[in-house]
Structure 1
Amino acid sequence: MQVTETLNEGLKRGYTITVPAADLEAKVDEKLTEAQPTIEMKGFRKGKVPMALLKKQFGDRLMGEAMQESIDGAMSKHFEESGDRPAMQPKVEMTNQDWTPGDDVEVTLSYEALPEIPDVDFSDVELERLVVEPAEADVTEALESLAKSAQAYETKKGGKAAKGDQVVIDFLGKVDGEPFEGGAAEDYPLVLGSDSFIPGFEDQLIGLKKGEEKVVEVTFPAEYQAENLAGKAATFDCTVKEVKKPVDAKIDDELAKRFGAEDLDALKTQIGERLTAEYSGAARQVVKRRLLDALDGKVDFALPPSLVEAEAKQIAHQLWHEENPDVQGHDHPEIEPTEEHTKLAERRVRLGLLLAEVGQKAEVTVSDAEMTQAIMQQARQYPGQEREFFQFVQQNPQAAQQMRAPIFEDKVIDHVLDQAKVTDKPVSKDELQAELEKLEDET
């Protein structure tokens, strides 16, 4: 077998691999000899089928296997001896498409090699880690928000219904003077301004009092889900049976129990712990970004063009969808990356390769327990389908890698932070928020 270099420019590599016909024939004969004792064929005793007949029966299939094994073996040996690591799946093409038995096999192998990543001394990286302790005012604010979310409604004596009030109504809907299916209800609680009914319906109930009646005139939207009603004018005979105003729940032990706490003090403790976790997560975003900024300025090496191009396209595609949220599918014109997209892609690829190298040298791994925890956490986003999601990730290597990658990166970040000079800096919640907003502006 012969491997000849045809391209060596930057990170681009090209080779021609020639597998002699004699080697292929020998490999086929080896396979047949190995299988001969177990083969049975009509007219012959087990293991006594002539080699020529076996070759006629199975030779073509075994020749294909021999080709694949020879080429795969040559590639493996090449990567082992050269030390190259392909940035993406190598491209392999057979050059003599008119190959016939007895001919040598020639293939071309091309790829982009991953660059040599220089060792980095992290001890001179200086960073501040922001630390926020939840203030009593923060806990109080969170409690008030909980009370507002748990608000109830109490009777509004003698008052007119206003936006934000709840009216309890009976209604009967009609189209062309005839009631339609699903257009009637009794004692229906409707919050005015919630936009839960047809546009224009709720506004016509504002100002009504208990006991008053109103014929509401509306038009169903053209895209209404019930085709028999879409775009049609309708009337609703409404009777207001009660008007209620919103009241926030009291901040007491009863509120705490509604949220699963034993009493108010326990709820405050839970809120404090949650806020601490939120502030810590936000502070980590800041210190991680500042660390990546520092690392980006410390290293410089050649980047595989294919990785940069793929990353730039992904960035451009993602940003385009963020700017065009109404487009859900991908049947849109191809999005061409800009120079800005490419520059961001270069940063991401550079840092990604660096962190991967650091993690490999530090023998950073993602345990099965960490993967299981991550999968279970994400599975909660699909209530009732947790098991199916778990099985999907287990059976889909690409999905598993997408979940493993951020865990690996976070562990490498922790490894680097342990070697850097990191000092804790106490700040307020507002100062932390300002830093987060600064990160968004820099993106």
Structure 2
Amino acid sequence: MQVTETLNEGLKRGYAITIPASELEAKVNEKLVEAQPEIEMKGFRKGKVPMALLKKQFGQRLMGEAMQETIDGAMNAHFEESGDRPALQPDVKMTNEDWKEGDDVNVEMTYEALPAIPDVDFSGVELEKLVVKADEAGITEALENLASTAQDFEARDEAAVAEDGDQVVIDFLGKVDGEAFEGGAGDDYPLVLGSNSFIPGFEEQLVGTKAGEEKDVNVTFPAEYGAEHLAGKDAVFTCTVKEVKAPKAAEIDDELAKKFGAEDLDALKGQISERLEAEYAGASRAVMKRGLLDALDGLVSFDLPPSLVDAEAKQIAHQLWHEENPDVQGHDHPEIEATEEHNTLAERRVRLGLLLAELGQKAEVEVSDAEMTQAIMAQARQYPGQERQFFEFIQQNPQMQQQLRAPLFEDKVVDHIVEQAKVSEKEVSKDELQKAVEALDEE
């Protein structure tokens, strides 16, 4: 086999590979010899079919396999010998399209090589870690939010009219075309006005009613309603309002704490404090990570594979276009051209991505099976009732596995770098941290 370099410009590489016909012939014969003992054919005992007959019967198919294996072997040998790592799948094609059996095979292989990544000294990298402590104001605000979600209702005066957000206790009977229907009646039903738990238009008509009042509520079942015999039908619900209650936030006390699984109010405050500080730490880490990436971007410089930059720029342009045009769900839209701004951002992302990948490889950073399982479980929670199907989908989809593994790997590499950098802590307020987080989106 002969390999000749035809292109070496920047990171672009090209090679002409010639595979002698004799080498292919030898590989085909090797495959036939290997298969011969198991082949049966009419007129011959198992394993006794003549080689010439086997070659006539199976030679053409085996020649295709031999070609592919030989080309793959030549590529692997080249990358092992040269040390090149292709940025994307190499482009491989036969150049003698009029090839016939007995001819040499001429192949052209082109690719962009990943650049050599220079060593980086992190000891001079200085980072600032913002620290926010959970204060009484933040804990009180969280307690008030919990109390509002655990709200109760207390009776209004008999003459009070129902307002949006109130709870009305009603008896109701629904009819379609003058006939009652199954599931259309209820007694002492507590309905919160504005909760949208009943048919659209139902709750609004009870605003302004008071205890003891009877009211006919006219509605139309949605066209896509679950019960086909009611879908799209007009209905009248005769409602008797038995009580009107105003919302009342739960008291912030030990009873509230027990509703949320804590022993008492002090224990709940402790849990809230831990949760808040964990949230602050997560936000602080995001700010520090951006600072680290900015520092790394200024520390290193190397050639970038144009194909990777181009693909990243197009992806950025496409994503931003959809953010600006949220009504367009699919991809049936004009081609989106990447701008110079998109290219600049793409260059940064590709440079940092290659650098972090190299640093992670050198540091032998790995994402464990347990970490992957946790990530999959976190994603699966977004599909309640379909967690099992989601797990199976991920297991059968290597590309999705890589999408989940990539950010985990990147975060572990970032942690590895932070350990070597100079990190100083700065205590700030919650509002100052929030402004720092908001600034990330503005850059």
TM-score, normalised relative to structure 2? 0.92
- The equivalent residue for 1:135 is 135
- The equivalent residue for 1:34 is 34
- The equivalent residue for 1:162 is 163
Amino acid at match of 1:323: E
1:54-93, Cα deviation, whole Å (9 max, x unpaired) = 2112211211111011100111111112221111111112
1:408 aligns with 2:409: yes
- The equivalent residue for 1:430 is 431
Amino acid at match of 1:115: P
- The equivalent residue for 1:125 is 125
Change (3 A) 1:41 1:326: same
- CA drift at 1:177: 5.8
User: Equivalences for 1:164-313 in 2 at 5 Å?
Assistant: 164-173=165-174, 184-217=185-218, 235-313=236-314
Q: Hey, what's the Cα distance between the residues in 2 that align with 1:374 and 1:224?
A: 36
1:356-398, Cα deviation, whole Å (9 max, x unpaired) = 1111111111122222232233333333333333333233221
- CA drift at 1:39: 3.4
- The equivalent residue for 2:49 is 49
- CA drift at 1:230: 7.2
Structure 2: runs of 5+ lacking an equivalent? none
Q: Which moved more, 1:189-198 or 1:292-301?
A: 189-198
Give the secondary structure class of the aligned counterpart of 1:123: helix
- The equivalent residue for 1:351 is 352
Q: Hey, what's the Cα distance between the residues in 2 that align with 1:48 and 1:228?
A: 73
What percent identity do the matched residue pairs reach?
77
Q: Hey, what's the Cα distance between the residues in 1 that align with 2:34 and 2:68?
A: 18
Q: Which moved more, 1:149-158 or 1:65-74?
A: 149-158
- CA drift at 1:292: 0.6
Q: Hey, what's the Cα distance between the residues in 2 that align with 1:61 and 1:250?
A: 80
Give the secondary structure class of the aligned counterpart of 1:108: strand
- CA drift at 1:336: 2.8
1:17-51, Cα deviation, whole Å (9 max, x unpaired) = 22111110011112222333443434334433221
- The equivalent residue for 2:58 is 58
Q: Hey, what's the Cα distance between the residues in 1 that align with 2:345 and 2:215?
A: 60
1:384 aligns with 2:385: yes
Alignment RMSD = 2.5
Q: Hey, what's the Cα distance between the residues in 2 that align with 1:230 and 1:11?
A: 64
- CA drift at 1:225: 7.3
- CA drift at 1:226: 7.3
1:388-439, Cα deviation, whole Å (9 max, x unpaired) = 3333323322121111111110111011111111111111211111111111
Q: Hey, what's the Cα distance between the residues in 1 that align with 2:237 and 2:335?
A: 49
Q: Hey, what's the Cα distance between the residues in 2 that align with 1:436 and 1:321?
A: 23
- The equivalent residue for 2:116 is 116
1:441 aligns with 2:442: yes
Q: Hey, what's the Cα distance between the residues in 2 that align with 1:366 and 1:305?
A: 29
Q: Hey, what's the Cα distance between the residues in 2 that align with 1:343 and 1:187?
A: 64
1:289-340, Cα deviation, whole Å (9 max, x unpaired) = 1111111122222211221222122222222333333333333333333332
- The equivalent residue for 1:365 is 366
Change (3 A) 1:224 1:318: farther
Change (3 A) 1:312 1:231: farther
Give the secondary structure class of the aligned counterpart of 1:8: strand
Q: Which moved more, 1:47-56 or 1:128-137?
A: 47-56
- CA drift at 1:194: 2.9
Give the secondary structure class of the aligned counterpart of 1:423: strand
- CA drift at 1:233: 6.2
How many residue pairs are counted as aligned between the two chains? 442
Amino acid at match of 1:164: G
- The equivalent residue for 1:101 is 101
- The equivalent residue for 2:323 is 322
Structure 1: runs of 5+ lacking an equivalent? none
